[in-house]
Amino acid sequence: MHAGIIFLAVIVGSVLFHIFTPWYWTDVASNWGSMDDTITLTFWIGGGVFVAVCLFMVYCVFKFSYKEGRKAEYKPEDKKLEKILILSLIFISSFFPIIHSKANLILLVCSLVVLFLV
């Protein structure tokens, strides 16, 4: 429980530090404004993913913390869960911008083969 609170404080502290920091981005070059915008966009996307993953971890710490009388359930080969995970992998991989590349095609074929084997 304390770990979740500390982790939440780290998330809030890192976001506040970024907002109120005395340091700012310097220009990469005078004629590369689009490069500066790309770096800034990448930074904000990475920061958003960082905050989302960390908040999910805090949620899991609070949701699945120890409680008296709770029993764990072990399902090593849950067919329904495996199908859901494989279908979500296929769905997510279909949004990759380079869907026609060989790597994504191999990933899609392997996912479908595994889906039918399950």
Kindly report, residue by residue over 29-76, the tens digit of the pLDDT.
666 767 777 777 888 888 888 999 999 999 988 888 888 888 877 878
Asked if the structure places residue 71 within a domain, the reply is no
Note whether 57 and 89 are same-domain residues: no
Who's near 7: CB < 8 A, 6+ residues apart? 54, 57, 58, 61
Inside any domain, residue 73: no
- Residues 8 and 58 placed together within one structural domain of the fold: yes
In a domain, 74, yes or no: no
User: Do residue 54 and residue 92 come from a single domain?
Assistant: no
Same domain assignment for residues 55 and 84: no
CA distance 81 to 86: 9
Q: Does 68 reside within a domain? A: no
Domain ranges, residue 88: 79-117
Identify the band that residue 13 occupies on the pLDDT scale cut at 50, 70 and 90.
very high
Count of structural domains, the chain: 2
